[in-house]
Amino acid sequence: MLDYKGHRIRQADYQGSTVCVLHQSSTELSYEEQIELNQAIIKRIESFTQALIKELQQYTNKTITRKSRLEQINELQEGLNEKLNMLFDQENEKVELMMEWLNLRSQDMVKFSNNSAELLTLKTKILDLKSKILHLQVLQNIFTETNQSIKSHAEVYKDLKEVIKETEERIQEYRRIIDSDRI
């Protein structure tokens, strides 16, 4: 094992190793190659740590700006809560108005149905009176026609009586003729 600035590098004790399921034979590095490798690794680590430090600084700057953003968010949240409360109050008022409207509408419907029932009752009474008037007119016509029909029936009866009398006289005449022919 080599020690380089507190870092230990281990060499593989065995000749072959598998990387990603591929068989690879290990070769030992020379001292210069190991130093060069260590320096490359250290450079890589230093550049990585510098990138991490920059990123950390960015995050700290972001947390500072986040605090101001949090304040902005809190202000916006308060404004939103106020508007939501106002909207909630308006919705409650709307529901109350709708309930009043429904009550008025139901009352109007009751009045309308009562008025309709009254109207229909009056129409039936009117129709009943019309039927009684019509009945009386029919009776009046019957009585007035009866007087005239009695006269006409009397004349028809008189005419029929005369026709019957004439027919009986003819029959008697025919009997006399028939009886006279027999003798």
DSSP string, 60-110: HHHHHHHHHHHHHHHHHHHHHHHHHHHHHHHHHHHHHHHHHHHHHHHHHHH
Lowest mean pLDDT among 7-11, 23-27, 139-143: 7-11
Average pLDDT for residues 78-98, to the nearest whole number? 90
Write the CB contacts of 12 (distance below 8 Å, at least 6 apart in sequence).
26
- Residue 89's pLDDT is 92
- Is 69 within 8 Å of 61 (Cβ atoms)? no
Q: Which residue has the tokens 């007087």?
A: 147
CA distance 78 to 68: 15
pLDDT tens digit string along 133-182?
988 888 887 777 666 677 777 888 888 889 899 999 988 888 888 888 77
CA distance 162 to 173: 16
Instruction: Give the pLDDT band of residue 85 (cuts 50, 70, 90).
Output: very high
Write the CB contacts of 34 (distance below 8 Å, at least 6 apart in sequence).
2, 9
- Residue 146's pLDDT is 61
CA distance 87 to 75: 18
Rounded to two decimals, what is the model's pTM?
0.32
Nearest CA to 48 out of 56, 37, 60 is that of 56
Is pLDDT at 34 greater than 60 in this prediction?
yes
Average pLDDT for residues 91-115, to the nearest whole number? 85
